[in-house]
Amino acid sequence: MSGRITVLLADDQALVRGALAAMLGLEPDIEVVAQVGAGDEVVDAALAARPDVALLDVQMPGIDGLAAAARLRDALPSCKVVILTTFGRPGYLARAMAAGAAGFVVKDAPPEQLVDAVRRVHAGLRVVDPALAAESLASGASPLTEREREVLLAARDGGTVGDIARLLHLSEGTVRNHLSAVIGKTGARTRAEAARLAEERGWL
């Protein structure tokens, strides 16, 4: 039926994905046309189904929803993205907007808020959870550079300085400098603590 808003759902939890699809399917003007469980499946599914709106979870296998949003923006600019997450972290909001997302909704929002977000984003508006927007403004942007973020992500998995250097094609001295900078910026004592603090703030 013409006039419907077509939606792609990306969430690694099948129960959540099914519940969202069922909820959206109750709306007369919304149709779920594709569902995926990993971030690196988003672009292919979107190119096949050509949805108007993509609802992307942040934490997924493959690539996360924020990286998927950026790829989707390049591959299918007509598709509007709403980031849907359990974790209302201020840093996620900044990264979502940088990736071209038009909306950011936390999963514990009322169902009608999500439905409204789909309609408003489809109409060309931006939709951001108001409490999160206020918190994001208060906490400011991530102080980490993109390279520092990459190093910290690699360090989070427990690799040695040598492992990280080989993975990112950097010298060990450069890796140590980045880790030192990250520890200073997060106010942590160790790189493990730095990774935890950065994760909590949505900087990773």
Residue 9 confidence class, pLDDT cut points 50, 70, 90: very high
What whole-number percentage of the chain has pLDDT above 90? 48
CA distances to 60, 136, 155 from 148, rounded to whole Å, are 22, 21, 10
Domains of the chain, start order: 5-139 (3.40.50.2300), 146-200 (1.10.10.10)
> At residue 117, what are phi and psi to the nearest 5 degrees?
-60, -40
Tell which wins on pLDDT, 64 or 204.
64
Q: Is the pTM value of this prediction over 0.75? A: no
In this predicted structure, what is the pLDDT of residue 188? 84
Closest CA to 53 of 108, 107, 125, 1: 125
Task: Using the predicted structure, report yes or no on whether residue 100 has a pLDDT greater than 80.
Answer: yes
Tell me the average pLDDT of the chain.
86
In this predicted structure, what is the pLDDT of residue 113? 87
In tens, the pLDDT along 41-90 reads: 999 999 999 999 999 998 888 888 989 999 999 999 999 999 988 766 66
Distance, CA of 185 to CA of 180 (rounded, Å): 9
Distance, CA of 112 to CA of 21 (rounded, Å): 14
